[in-house]
């Protein structure tokens, strides 16, 4: 949900639907220019009492102190209404989710080895500043202890608009905003046809990613009945802008079809002069006609379209690249495993063909059933005459073959497939990280959530 840094309203007005389609088309690039972007979020907390980090806290640990401390590493601050709300450096950014979740949006990189080095460097910097101010960070998909009332809100105007709007369209939107954390991978496409194939494969297999990375079994200091409560939350956040997008599998799907869907999703805001204007529930189609109530007489510019697309939250999201959005945040190795999983499947033609052959006859009902089942049952989710665990083993073998074919080696002569090793262990056992945490909560932790702040911290 990271915001953009434009002040809004700059550039020529959009005069035709073709200009909106051209935005997606501009993302097409040669295979040799494909890159990998990794985003991951984490919960900050005070080491002393395990409370969440507020934006400002006087002499105590805070989000503001984290951001200011990271400036020493060459990050440039981004300010909104006098508050530092983000940092930028060399194509990467650090942003804040509504409840203070700290997000790294990594730079576009060529290999998983580079991505993992970026993750290592980021966590090292975060740990250095956090140690100095008395803070820690958790790698979980959902806040394990703090209620909504106990969770602070960051000083970003778009979040005020979203907070007011969410209860009108779903019962769990505030849970998503303030209490969830994810790891995502952003990947490129060569053409409209390539985009459509990758979109279909990744959308069908997103529930498998949810199961493999399930890591959010706690809520309010106890168990919540799910392995990925974060994934469950998305099922009742705002069904206009979330979900499995069955139309992606329709014959002829392409940029125009996604454009038309996006146009019919109600807006959140319009940005002008660095200020967010409330456009919740209003129509981008009306905006194109100069009839948007929030800005009567004005037509949108490209940055308005970009902003609107950033407020859509399907399991896979199209911009000038594809975003994989189905996984819980977790320990360090998952932050490298997720891009490895998707790059192995989508960036090698043979692997992509094999993955498509696997999922091409799945129905919309089956895909939705996997989405719902994976959140609660993980790899034990039934599918046809087998379980999701069996599909995981098959898909991971395809991903490994795709990474082997890329032949990108580290200094030890190892290729990117090494980042799948932990996922292979999960698939072989059928036991997710969430199930391991549940066992420890019921066993050695004796029903206390407090050990999570040590054992799941970075």
pLDDT band at residue 324, thresholds of 50, 70 and 90?
Answer: very high
Q: In this model, does residue 6 exceed pLDDT 80?
A: no
Q: 4-8, 88-92, 151-155: lowest mean pLDDT where?
A: 4-8
pLDDT of residue 5: 56
CATH of the domain at 80: 3.30.590.20
Looking at the whole model, is its pTM more than 0.95?
yes
The pLDDT of residue 192 is above 60: yes
Residue 402 Cα distances to 201, 350, 410, angstroms: 14, 7, 17
Helical segments of 362-406, H only: 364-377, 388-406
Q: What is each CA distance from 394 to 345, 351, 400, 423, in whole angstroms?
A: 11, 11, 10, 12
Q: Terminal CA-to-CA distance of the chain, rounded, Å?
A: 22
- 7 in any annotated domain: no
Q: Answer whether residue 3 shows pLDDT above 50.
A: no
Query: Is 187 inside a domain boundary?
Result: yes
Q: Is the residue at 386 inside a domain?
A: yes
**Residue 257 within any structural domain of the chain:** yes
Residue 98 has pLDDT above 90, yes or no: yes
Average pLDDT of the chain is 97
Q: Is residue 242 assigned to a domain?
A: yes
- What percent of the chain stands above pLDDT 70? 99
Task: Tell me, rounded to whole angstroms, the distance of Cα 223 from its chain centroid.
Answer: 23
pLDDT level of residue 1 (50, 70, 90 thresholds): very low
- Whose structure tokens read 């073959």? 401
Tens digits of residue pLDDT in 139-159: 999 999 999 999 999 999 999
Count of domains forming the chain: 1
Region 382-387: what's the mean pLDDT?
Answer: 97
Report whether 196 contacts 255 (CB < 8 A). no
φ/ψ of 73, rounded to 5, equals: -95, 15
pLDDT value for 82: 93
- Average pLDDT rounded to a whole number, residues 291-312: 98
Tell me which residue range forms the domain holding 295.
Answer: 17-455
In terms of DSSP bridges, do strands 313-314 and 382-383 run parallel, antiparallel, or are they unpaired?
unpaired
Q: Report pLDDT for 56.
A: 97
Whether residue 8 lies inside any domain: the answer is no
Band (pLDDT 50/70/90 cuts) for residue 220 is very high
Q: Are 181 and 41 in contact (CB under 8 A)?
A: yes
pLDDT above 90 for 111: yes
Residue 321: burial class (beta carbons within 10 Å; 0-12, 13-18, 19+): buried
1 lies in some domain: no
In a domain, 2, yes or no: no
Q: Any idea what DSSP says for residue 272? A: E
Whether residue 51 contacts residue 99, with contact meaning beta carbons closer than 8 Å, is answered with: no
């Amino acid at each position: 949900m990271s915001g953009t840094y434009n002040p809004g309203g700059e550039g020529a007005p959009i005069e035709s639907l073709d200009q909106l389609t051209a935005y997606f088309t501009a993302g097409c690039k040669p295979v040799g220019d494909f890159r990998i972007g990794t985003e991951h979020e984490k919960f900050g907390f005070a080491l002393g009492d395990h409370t969440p980090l507020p934006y400002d806290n006087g002499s105590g640990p805070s989000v503001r102190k984290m951001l200011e401390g990271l400036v020493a590493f060459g990050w440039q601050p981004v300010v909104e209404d006098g508050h530092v709300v983000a940092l930028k450096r060399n194509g990467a950014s650090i942003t804040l989710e509504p409840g203070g979740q700290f997000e790294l949006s990594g730079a576009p990189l060529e290999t998983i080895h580079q991505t993992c080095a970026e993750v290592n460097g980021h966590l090292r910097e975060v740990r250095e500043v956090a140690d100095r101010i008395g803070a820690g960070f958790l790698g979980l998909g959902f806040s394990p202890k703090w209620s909504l009332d106990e969770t602070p809100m960051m000083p970003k105007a778009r979040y005020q608009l979203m907070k007011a709007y969410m209860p009108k369209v779903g019962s769990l939107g505030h849970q998503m905003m303030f209490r969830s954390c994810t790891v995502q991978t952003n990947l490129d496409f060569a053409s409209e046809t390539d985009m459509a194939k990758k979109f279909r494969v990744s959308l069908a297999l997103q529930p498998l990613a949810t199961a493999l990375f399930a890591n959010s079994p706690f809520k309010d200091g106890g168990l919540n009945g799910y392995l990925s409560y974060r994934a469950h939350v998305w099922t009742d956040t705002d069904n206009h802008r979330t979900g499995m997008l069955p139309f992606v599998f329709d014959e002829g799907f392409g940029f125009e079809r996604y454009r038309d869907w996006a146009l019919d999703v109600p807006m959140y805001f319009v940005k002008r002069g660095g200020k967010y204007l409330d456009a919740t529930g209003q129509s981008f189609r009306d905006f194109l006609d100069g009839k948007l109530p929030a800005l009567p007489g004005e037509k949108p510019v490209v940055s308005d379209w970009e902003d609107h697309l950033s407020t859509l939250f399907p399991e896979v999201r199209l911009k000038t690249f594809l975003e994989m959005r189905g996984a819980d945040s977790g320990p360090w190795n998952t932050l490298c495993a997720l891009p490895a999983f998707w790059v192995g499947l989508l960036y090698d033609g043979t692997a992509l063909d094999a993955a498509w052959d696997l999922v091409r006859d799945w129905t919309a009902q089956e895909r939705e059933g996997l989405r719902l089942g994976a959140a609660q049952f993980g790899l034990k989710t039934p599918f046809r005459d087998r379980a999701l665990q069996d599909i995981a083993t098959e898909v991971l073998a395809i991903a490994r073959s795709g990474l082997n074919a890329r032949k990108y080696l580290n200094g030890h002569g190892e290729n990117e497939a090494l980042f799948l090793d932990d996922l292979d262990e999960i698939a072989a056992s059928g036991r997710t990280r969430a199930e391991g945490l549940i066992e420890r909560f019921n066993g050695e932790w004796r029903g206390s959530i407090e050990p999570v702040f040590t054992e799941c911290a970075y």
